[in-house]
Amino acid sequence: MDSDYTLSREDWSLHRKGILDQERHRAKVEEAIRKNLADIVSQESIIMADGQKVIKVPIRSLEEYRLRFDPAKGQNAGQGQGGSQPGAVLGREASRGGGGAGDEPGSDYYEAEITVDELAEILFAELELPNLDDLNRRRIPAEGVDFRSVGKVGLTSNLDKKRTLLEAIKRAARHGGAVPGAIAREDVRFRVWEEVERAQTAALVVAMMDTSGSMGDFEKYVARSFFTWLVRFLRSRYRSVELVFLAHSTEAKEVSEEEFFTKGESGGTKCSSVYRLAMEIVAQRYGRGLGINIYPFHFSDGDNLASDNQRALEAARELLDVARLFGYGEVRSDSSPRHTLLSLFREMGDPRLKTAEIWEKADIHRALRAFLGKEGLPR
């Protein structure tokens, strides 16, 4: 054999094959997540997680299906580190998560890893605060910079190549030549930026939650996970959104965000109390709410004291008068009473009053879309 060989080290920096197909894979993961949002959004592990936390989302549609043997049925060949005896336990189902190699027995489906923030991005792409009033915009000075004009002096990094070339062509044309020669100093153009003020619409969101004794674990869980996503959404999308947290049983009180999400109470339910408190806060702090868009959201099991229903409706009507949108979510189960606040609210037929029924976890996503879905979305 003649020793015919070469050794080389080429520039591979433009070899982007893997990255491109990874993008496509990524897009498919997002698509699958979007289709399963309802299930993913209501997962317990996500609700209280911070944005950087990586969550694993099982995605069946991205598995590469093949005709293959089922390792769980029958025997497989393996190799140990010496002295394995029949009966030796090699592993358990639950502990076999690591590595994620597709050919390992036990790894049943493909799990995509995304951060909560990435998941939120996918979810929030279809949400907005509806009926925002443009008239009430506050101007926020010097929010950022925008390239808005062209100048003859500037930083090299802001060189506007296209305009520079055009200038060169024009100059050449002025002197009778069709083809531009070298680019002269006078041809060079730069993009020039200006500081811009952006208008921001201010909004106040009143988060109201029933913490009465009739709110069981599931009801509280649903309300909390809805509000968690709501708060996350508002903070990520709107710079000037103020949040007020109100908890109520027969009496309402303002609580801190942390208390709102962690504490439970007991007692009966009077929804009028919380609507009144909301009105008071609006009146005190925002002068009957004329300068701000108000969005009250209320979660309850609907089991309001019958004697309070009329008062609650009146209070809700008052609140509606100042609100852009009032979202009412009712967590229902088979044992819910037939006539609840939900049926009363529905009878009102006010388009700014949106209601959502929640029977199971997946309905949390439906509620988010019912309240905040962009127009044109299938509800």
Partner 1 sequence: MKKEEIPLLEEAIGRIAEVAARMGLDAPPMRFEICPPDIVYTLGAYGGMPTRFAHWSFGKAYNRMKTQYDFALSRIYELVINTDPCYAYLLDQNSLIQNKLVVAHVYAHADFFKHNLHYARTRRDMLETMSRTAAVLRDYEFIHGKERVEKLLDAGLAIQGQIDPWFREEAERPGNIEEQPSCPYADLWGEDATRSREGGDPPKKTKEIPEARDLLLALVRYARHLEDWEKDVLSLLRDEMLYFRPQITTKIANEGWATYWHQRLLRELDLTEAETVEYSLLNSRIVQPPGMSLNPYLVGLRLFEDIERRYDRTEDGPGGRTAADGEDEPLFADGREAIFALRETENDCSLLRNFLTKELVEELDLYLYAKMGDKWVVTEKEWEKVRDGLVLDLTDGGFPAVEVVDVDHEGKGTLALRHLYDGRELHLRHLEKTLDQVQSLWRRTVQLETVVDGRTKTFACDGNRSYSF
Q: Which residues bind partner 1 (CB under 8 A)?
A: 1, 3-10, 12, 15, 17-26, 28, 62-94, 96, 99-100, 103-106, 110
Query: Please, what is the minimum distance in Å from the beta carbon of residue 50 to partner 1?
Result: 21
CA distance 224 to 299: 9
Closest alpha carbon to 289 in 244, 232, 259: 244
Query: Please, what is the minimum distance in Å from the beta carbon of residue 36 to partner 1?
Result: 17
Which residue, 110 or 124, is less far from partner 1 as judged by CB? 110
Q: What is the dihedral of CA 283, 288, 290, 294, to 10 degrees?
A: 60
Query: Please, what is the minimum distance in Å from the beta carbon of residue 329 to partner 1?
Result: 36
Which residue, 96 or 198, is less far from partner 1 as judged by CB? 96
Residue by residue, DSSP assigns 242-287 as EEEEEEESSSEEEE-HHHHHH----S---HHHHHHHHHHHHHHHHG
CA distance 214 to 271: 13
For residue 222, which amino acid is it?
V
Query: Please, what is the minimum distance in Å from the beta carbon of residue 361 to partner 1?
Result: 24
User: Per the structure block, which two tokens stand in for 163?
Assistant: 């305009």
Query: Please, what is the minimum distance in Å from the beta carbon of residue 288 to partner 1?
Result: 54
CA distance 144 to 27: 30
CA distance 224 to 216: 12
CA distance 206 to 278: 7
Which residue, 32 or 223, is less far from partner 1 as judged by CB? 32
Query: Please, what is the minimum distance in Å from the beta carbon of residue 181 to partner 1?
Result: 40
Residue by residue, DSSP assigns 171-211 as HHHHTT-SS--SPPGGG--EEEEEEEEEEEE-EEEEEEEE-
Which residue, 65 or 194, is less far from partner 1 as judged by CB? 65
User: Per the structure block, which two tokens stand in for 330?
Assistant: 């009712």
Query: Please, what is the minimum distance in Å from the beta carbon of residue 41 to partner 1?
Result: 24
Query: Please, what is the minimum distance in Å from the beta carbon of residue 53 to partner 1?
Result: 17
* 356 bridge partner residues: 329
Which residue, 20 or 306, is less far from partner 1 as judged by CB? 20
Which residue, 68 or 338, is less far from partner 1 as judged by CB? 68
Which residue, 96 or 253, is less far from partner 1 as judged by CB? 96
User: Per the structure block, which two tokens stand in for 274?
Assistant: 């919380």
Which residue, 70 or 375, is less far from partner 1 as judged by CB? 70
User: Under DSSP, is residue 11 helix (H, G, I), strand (E, B) or coil?
Assistant: coil
Which residue, 76 or 149, is less far from partner 1 as judged by CB? 76
CA distance 206 to 279: 10
Query: Please, what is the minimum distance in Å from the beta carbon of residue 59 to partner 1?
Result: 10
CA distance 376 to 126: 10
